[in-house]
Structure formats: structure tokens, C-alpha cells
Amino acid sequence: MPSASIDTFLASTVIVILVLSAMAGTTKLMAPYLDDLSNRDEAERFQPLASHLLLTAGTPTNWGQLKDVAPDSFGLATADPSQPYELDIDKVSRLNSANIYSLTYADLWEALGVKDVSFNIEIRTLFEVSITVVSNFTVGAATVYEFEVATRKSGMPVSADLSSYVVVQDFVNKTISSTSSSGVGSFAVSVPNSLNGTALLLVFARARANSQMISFSVYAFGHNSETPLPNQTFTRLSPLDYVLNVPLAYSTVEVLKAQAFSFNHNFSLAQKTIGVQTLEYYVPRLLDSSPMILVLTGSNVSTSFAEWVAYPQLPLQTGADFTASTAGSKIVSQSRIVTIDSVLYEVVTKWGGLSGNV
């Protein structure tokens, strides 16, 4: 399929899904243990529950910003009823178990208030971004890294503009490029050999078919050092209410710099407070549409690190484990397009009986 056709198809698909979502939501039945998929009663029952989650703010309406408070009733929408399917960035982030203020499934199930139903919520970008290191070589006092980036939706190529950043200690290198009609692009970056430690490549991809479709990916690699340790080994980065909360894993951790990155911008974060092995930084409110990636660089004794978190804190999946459902159970899966700070994302909700774990 030609690139123009693919991009047109992708844009048209988003528009159609948005219209369907506004009307009733897209619904499909999945019955991995049954041949009969025709039980419409269950689909009709669960459809209003998915709408309730995505169209109501819950109570209190600002529960996402209240840190240790669980909602009395469960809804993910912003408090502004004039923007249907616009989700609150902090309510979404508190669904991610990596956030120190995350809610348990028991909290969410109790707040939903439907005792004979189990559910699972997944929120993700509309297309995938994959990163591959092609080569690296030394030129003078620097190392040049060549990367390949692929942008795809369900295996189909997506033409996208790319905004990429390499971060090592206090060094930042930004590169602008794009993916071709095959959904693949490449670029090279140069990093001074006077630096060493974990390096991060942050890639934001904006689909040419729709500027609200922005995906991202992060690739960690060792620059003049060994393979990086897993992300958030030294910190636990938890954004909430436009503040980056940073518990430090060790008393020997020293922070060099905190930064925010988006498709168009990058900023140094101003420090808000310093506690006992905890730090807080203000997060900027951007006018342009883009998720943010928040990066903390520093050291622990002789180890240099770079750790990151996305805001909203995606992708995420929370709720019942339907892979362990009992034989004969039926699951209703509903996919809807939503916005968070004007960027399009996909929400997949799955519903069933109480075979899932609560």
C-alpha cells in the first residue's frame, strides 16, 4: 500500500473511531474458552461501565491530584464536562503501579461500585516506535552512534516526523528527522568521549496524518561504560500534579540535573523541595500537544546514571488478570480513542465476572 494511502487510512481510522467512541464505543466480544460469541446482553451491560470510566471525573473530581486519597467513585475524565473523552493526566498516572501514589486494583474495584464485575484497563499510544542501534565509531574526541527508528501501527508503516534527544550527564543533543513511506528512518548523533555512563535516546514521533498522534520510545545504552542497569534502579520517578516526586534508593545518590523533554522543547526542572532521601521538581505545563519524558541524571558512588519516566505515566495496564480466567468465562473488550492534554491515546477496557483477581 502506498504511503499516502496508509496515512490517509490511518487518519480516517482515527476519525471513525473518535465518532464511534463519542456515540457508544467500539466493542468486541472475546471468548477464548467458548465457541459462542453472541451474548449481546453482556456487551450491552458493560458498555455503560466503560463510558462511565471515560466520561465522568469520579469523586472527588480532583482525586488524581490528592496523592494518598482513593476516589469514592471511579472516573478518569477531567473535571471539565465540555471535553468528552479527555482524561485527567494525574488520574491516568495513578493507575500505573510504578507511581508511588498508585491505586491498587482493590481501590479501583471498590470505587467502581459494581460488585459482581471485574475489569482491566490498558492505556497506550496509537502507534509503536522501535529503536535499533545500527553502528557506533570514534571520530576524533567523540563517538558517533547511528540509529534506526521504525514507526508502525499493527504492522503497518506510519510516516512520522521525529524529534530525538541523546542525554548523558548534563549533555543533550537534539536531532530532527523523519520516517519514510516504509515507516523507517535513520540518523546519527555525536557524543563527547569526555563523558561516560548511561546514555538515553528519547524519540518522539508525530504522525503526519494527524498532529495529535504522538508516540514515544526511550532506549538506554552505555557510553564508555558497561550496559546500563534497569531504569529507576537509583530513583523512583513519580510525576503528579505537575511535580516530579523523586525518592532516592540510596543515601549515596547525587543528582546532577533534572530535565523535561517534549516533541518541541526541553527544559531544566526547578527544584521545589529537598527532604530526607527525597527530592521534588516543578514540571512545566506545555501549550503544545506532546507527552513529556522527565529525565534525572546523576551518580551513585562511581556509577553514572540517567533515569526517566513519561508524563502521563504510560504505557500502563492495571486490573484483573483475565489470562487466569476460568473455563467458560466470557470477556468483553472495548477499545476507545481518548485525549490526554490534547494528545490521542487508545484505552482498552476488558470486563468479565469475578474470575479475575480483586
SS (HEC) of 57-111: CCECCCHHHCCCCCCCECCCECCCCCCCCEECHHHHHCCCCCCCCCCCHHHHHHH
pLDDT of residue 83: 87
Which range of residues forms the domain containing residue 77? Answer: 3-125+315-352
User: Cβ atoms within 10 A of the Cβ of 158, count?
Assistant: 25
CA distance 19 to 336: 10
Cβ distance 234 to 300 under 8 Å? yes
CA distance 26 to 147: 37
* Grid cell for residue 289: 500537544
Residue 19 counted as domain residue: yes
Task: Kindly give, in sequence order, each residue whose CB lies less than 8 Å from that of residue 133, ignoring residues fewer than 6 positions away.
Answer: 145, 146, 147, 219, 221
pLDDT of residue 244: 98
Cβ distance 186 to 149 under 8 Å? yes
Residue 101 counted as domain residue: yes
Cβ distance 339 to 87 under 8 Å? yes
Q: How far is CA 208 from CA 157, 219, 241, in A?
A: 12, 23, 31
Give the DSSP letter of residue 126. S
From 315, 272, 267, select the one nearest 287 (Cα to Cα): 267
pLDDT of residue 47: 86
Cβ distance 335 to 26 under 8 Å? yes
> pTM (2 decimals)?
0.89
Number of folded domains in the chain? 1
pLDDT 10s digits, 186-218: 999 999 999 999 999 999 999 999 999 999 999
pLDDT of residue 322: 85
Residue 195 counted as domain residue: no
Provide the sign of the torsion angle of the four alpha carbons 267, 270, 272, 273, taken in this order. Answer: positive
Residue 38 counted as domain residue: yes
* Grid cell for residue 357: 483477581
Residue 333 counted as domain residue: yes
Residue 138 counted as domain residue: no
Cβ distance 314 to 290 under 8 Å? no
Residue 331: exposure state from Cβ atoms within 10 A (0-12, 13-18, ≥19): buried
User: Residues in the chain with pLDDT < 50?
Assistant: 1, 5, 9, 16-40, 327
Task: Kindly give, in sequence order, each residue whose CB lies less than 8 Å from that of residue 48, ignoring residues fewer than 6 positions away.
Answer: none
CA distance 190 to 166: 9
Give the DSSP letter of residue 235. B
Residue 251 counted as domain residue: no
pLDDT of residue 39: 45
Length of the chain, please? 358
Q: Cell 517534549 maps to which residue? A: 262
pLDDT of residue 6: 53
Q: What counts of helices (H) and strands (E) characterise the chain?
A: 4, 21
Give the DSSP letter of residue 262. -
